[in-house]
Amino acid sequence: MNNNKILGVVNLIHETDELDKLTQGRCTATVPFGSRYRLIDFTLSNMVNSGIHEVGVFAHKKYRSLMDHIGSGKSWDLQHRQSGLFVLPPITDDVQELSRGDLFHFYQNRDFFLRSKPEYVLIARSHMVCNIDYRKVLQYHLEQNADITVVCHQSSEPVLGKARKVRMNDDGRIVEIQDSYGRMISEYSNMEMYLMKKELLMDLVETSLAKGQDHLVRHAIFSKLDGLKVYGYVHNGFLAVVNTINSYYGNSMKLLQPEVWRTLFREPGPIYTKVKDGPPARYSNDAIVERSIIANGCVIEGEVRNSILFRGVHVHKGAVVEDSVIMQNGVILPKSVVKCAIFDKDVVIEENQQIKGVSSGPYLAGKRKVI
C-alpha cells in the first residue's frame, strides 16, 4: 500500500477562469457542478480516496465561498488529529505580490511542505473534473523511475474547455508541453496533476525563484523537459475541463449520459461534498421529468427535460425547463419556459417568461437575478 506517502496540494493560484458570472463572487474551485457538488469536491475526494490524508489548499482570490464550503474538511474526512486539511491563503506583504506565480506562493508557505511527513507531493487543480486513483499514478511513477509524472487524458475528440496539450514519445516520456493553449496537434491533454518527490518540488521552487521565475509548469517543468525525466500517466476515465462557460454547459450536458453518471460520481471512489440535509425530491401528479438529474430538496410540478437541477429548485406547475442547468434554490414560476440556460443560485423566473439561449451560447443568469 502506498497509503500516507503522498501530500496533496490543491493549487488554486491563477486557475484559468473564463466562467463569467459564475465566478463573479467565488473562485473556480467553488463553482457548483453536477447537481450537488462544487468543482473542488472532485479534487479533494480523489485525494482522500487515494489514501492522501494531508491536503493543503492554496487559496488565491475570492476564497470566501471556499472557506465556507470546505470548513474543517470534515465532509471529506480530512479533519483528524494527525493531519488533515490546511487552507493556505496567500502570504503577501503588498497587493502586487498576489499576482505572482504559484512557486512564489509555495515558497511563502514552505513550512507546510517542510512540516509534512509524506515523501511525495501531488499537485492538482480544481477545474479538471474526474474520478481517479492517485495510487496508480504513484505506482506508474515508481515503475518509470520518473522525476515527475504528469496525468494526461487521451481523446480523439476536441476537448471542451481550455487544457494544455502534451506530446509524448513511445516510452511515455513527455517531450513537449504546450504553453498558453496553442495549436499543437495531439490526442493528449494535460490534466494539470503533477506527482513528484517533495524534495524535488522544494528544489524547483528555490532554483526557479532564484532566477526570477515563479510558474510551476512554464518555468519549473516546461523548461526542464530535457534534464528531468517527466512521464505522462494516461487516465482513461471521463474528464470534464470546466473553465469556460461553454465547457461548463457542454460538460454538464454530458453528465446526462447514464454511463457518465454511473462512473464519475462513484468509481473508483465516491465523491463527497458538504451535507445540506434537504428532504427527498418531490414530484407532483403533473410532473413530467425526462433524462434529467435532480437533487434532493427539489419540488417538481412542471416539465423538466435534459436538465440538471441543483438542491432546492422549485419548478412550478405549467413551467418548462429544457437543456438547462438550474443551481440551488432556483424558482421557475408557472407558465414560464427556460431553454438552454445556466442559472446561478437563487434565480427567480416570474410567471409567463420566455428565457431562451442556444447550446453554443447558453443564457447565463447571475446569482439572485429575478427575471
List interacting residues with other proteins (CB under 8 A): 34-36, 258, 261-262, 265-266, 270-272, 275, 277, 279-297, 299, 308-310
- Which grid cell sits at 195? 506527482
Query: Residue 260 Cβ, how far from other proteins at the closest point, in Å?
Result: 10
What type of residue is 14? H
Query: Residue 15 Cβ, how far from other proteins at the closest point, in Å?
Result: 24
H-assigned helices in 29-84: 39-49, 64-70
Region at 32 (left for phi over 0; alpha for psi -120 to 50; beta for the rest): beta
Judged by beta carbon, residue 287 or residue 348, the one nearer other proteins is 287
Query: Residue 320 Cβ, how far from other proteins at the closest point, in Å?
Result: 15
Query: Residue 63 Cβ, how far from other proteins at the closest point, in Å?
Result: 25
Judged by beta carbon, residue 82 or residue 285, the one nearer other proteins is 285
Judged by beta carbon, residue 226 or residue 259, the one nearer other proteins is 259
Q: Closest by alpha carbon to 323, among 282, 349, 361?
A: 361
Q: Is 229 helix (H, G, I), strand (E, B) or coil?
A: coil
Residue 207 neighbours by CB under 8 Å, 6+ apart: none
- Which grid cell sits at 135? 495510487
Judged by beta carbon, residue 33 or residue 113, the one nearer other proteins is 33
* Torsions phi, psi for 129 (to 5 deg): -85, 115
Query: Residue 137 Cβ, how far from other proteins at the closest point, in Å?
Result: 24
Judged by beta carbon, residue 120 or residue 249, the one nearer other proteins is 249
Query: Residue 272 Cβ, how far from other proteins at the closest point, in Å?
Result: 6
Quote the CA–CA distance of 53 and 4 in Å, as a whole number: 6
Q: How far is CA 198 from CA 53, 95, 112, 273, 284, in A?
A: 15, 28, 11, 28, 55
Judged by beta carbon, residue 293 or residue 365, the one nearer other proteins is 293
* 68 close to 103: Cβ distance less than 8 angstroms: no
Query: Residue 57 Cβ, how far from other proteins at the closest point, in Å?
Result: 21
Judged by beta carbon, residue 212 or residue 258, the one nearer other proteins is 258
* Cβ-based burial of 305 (10 A; exposed 0-12, middle 13-18, buried ≥19): middle
